[in-house]
Amino acid sequence: MTVTVGQIFVALMIIGMVLLASNALRHWMGWIRRLYLPSSVLGGLLLLLLGPEVLGERIGLPATGGEGLFPEYVQESWAALPGLLINVVFAALFLGRPIPGLKTIWLRAGPQVVVGQTIAWGQYAVGLTLALLVLTPFFGMNPMVGALIEIGFEGGHGTAAGLSDTFSELGFEEGADLALGLATIGLVFGVLIGTVLINVAARREIVSPEGKRNDPETLMEDGDKPSTEEYTELKKELALEAGPTDPLSLHVGLIGVAIAIGWVLLSGLQWIEQVTWARGDGLEIMAHVPLFPIAMIGGVILQLIIMRFGLERHVSSRATSRIAGSALDFTIVAAMATLSLAAIGDFLIPFLLLAAAGIGWSLFVLIVVAPRVIPEHWFERGIGDFGQSMGVTVTGLLLMRMADPKNRSGALESFGYKQLMFEPVVGGGLFTAASLPLIAHFGAPAILALTTTLTLAWLAFGLIYFGRMVPERGLGRWKP
């Protein structure tokens, strides 16, 4: 069926009202706040509960033709939204933020880059091993299932939703639903396990969090005094508001330019692929790569242009973050509202095996690898990578603030710098987007060999290069 603009508007308004309702539920129900479930995830779960596979199957309204609580055009609109809005999220990722040189990034965040890359490539290695040894031979699953741990855990809901078209094009439609389910499992268990680990670390004097360390909701409040950077951004926003154009409209335009740059780059790469290695029945990779990771590169290019011509005062990272945050909320709600519970039910045991393998690998890297790679404050810095590898960036930031409320370790700055050498490749970057077509073309064994080699290479480099700087006394504290 064809969806009209008015029908899309109705679908968006329903999401907005559900986000409002989920915020009210978080306010009224303390146990939801303690789980730190974002309003977008809670809203998506509410719409899923009211959807055609749960309550909507039994409750038919005359306005919907007796086929559920929402008309078919609403469900169809929600299914299309994630693939579009995820471009906004990634295009805005680096807009308005200074991009330092690689040397600066490496000096501040090198150990965390190693830990983050080890977790990400290891998620592929663990997932593909599980797929080849168990999931494909015993459950008849597509070998691409081996990429779901990284897509769902490291990439999160946004990446899983953004790759839905790629899953369909490659004949692995259930993969999108499984990835979204894994993203939800990772988000919940990331906070729960991370909170337990912080308390254990505090008792063993690995960290010394103060006062409100065990209250995630309090830690995420805005009651703390703004930093110098936040004051600068506030002043910049006030100056922009005094101009002839609303700053929100201006920044929507900038994000549009970043997406356009990404589209031109992707179209050029796809054209080069078609006239070179993909001619005839050759390898097609870029043809299956979605726009969002290239839109992120478009945002970096635009930010470099802004910095080159001294236009930073016209661009606010707070404004771009607000736009991206809204787009991500709508993306997550729409994706979860159209999640197929039947697909997860059909592959429940593989789903649980993937979840257990992903959680186990992240825990192994945090407890065993991080203290041997990160020279100082290994737990405060490593817990951020653990949180991100299990859910989203916000999960990592939350756990770092719980472990080190006053940021005495400098973990927040190192984590931020690390993103510049991490996000463009994995965690929703180029390789995450290309992993599915790569597995489809070259086969799971070849990609397993590649990702295992990269995992071991990053691990060996970290142990040899940074391991020499780790004081031996810091390792024994985790032992019983």
d(CA 189, CA 8): 34
CA 251-164-86 angle, to 5 degrees, is 10
Q: Tell me what pLDDT residue 459 has.
A: 95
| Three-state DSSP class for residue 66 | coil
Under 8 Å between Cβ of 88 and 376: no
- 155, 218, 311, 411, 413 from 96: Cα distances, Å: 23, 28, 10, 21, 16
d(CA 436, CA 140): 17
Under 8 Å between Cβ of 364 and 197: no
- 65, 66, 313, 403 from 56: Cα distances, Å: 12, 10, 50, 42
Question: Which two three-digit tokens encode residue 27?
Answer: 């306010």
d(CA 324, CA 91): 8
Q: Tell me what pLDDT residue 285 has.
A: 76
d(CA 301, CA 226): 29
Under 8 Å between Cβ of 89 and 324: yes
- 90, 104, 157, 184 from 149: Cα distances, Å: 20, 31, 12, 12
d(CA 216, CA 287): 42
Q: Extract the residue ranges of the chain whose pLDDT is less than 50.
A: 65-66, 211-226, 473-480
Under 8 Å between Cβ of 247 and 237: yes
Give CA 228 to chain center in angstroms: 27
Give CA 162 to chain center in angstroms: 11
User: Locate tokens 């995992």: which residue?
Assistant: 455
Under 8 Å between Cβ of 33 and 52: no
d(CA 388, CA 320): 21
d(CA 174, CA 168): 8
d(CA 128, CA 449): 10
d(CA 37, CA 187): 8
Angular region, 325: left φ>0, alpha ψ -120 to 50, beta rest: alpha
φ/ψ of residue 173, rounded to 5:
-60, -40
Cβ-based burial of 450 (10 A; exposed 0-12, middle 13-18, buried ≥19): middle
d(CA 5, CA 447): 42
| Three-state DSSP class for residue 223 | coil
Dihedral of alpha carbons 183, 189, 195, 196, sign = negative
d(CA 40, CA 20): 10
Question: Which two three-digit tokens encode residue 471?
Answer: 């004081």
d(CA 135, CA 140): 7
The tens digit of pLDDT for each residue in 267-284 reads 998 899 888 877 766 677
Q: What element of type H or E holds 150?
A: none
- Using alpha carbons, select from 21, 122, 100 the residue that is nearest to residue 363: 122
Q: Tell me what pLDDT residue 217 has.
A: 47
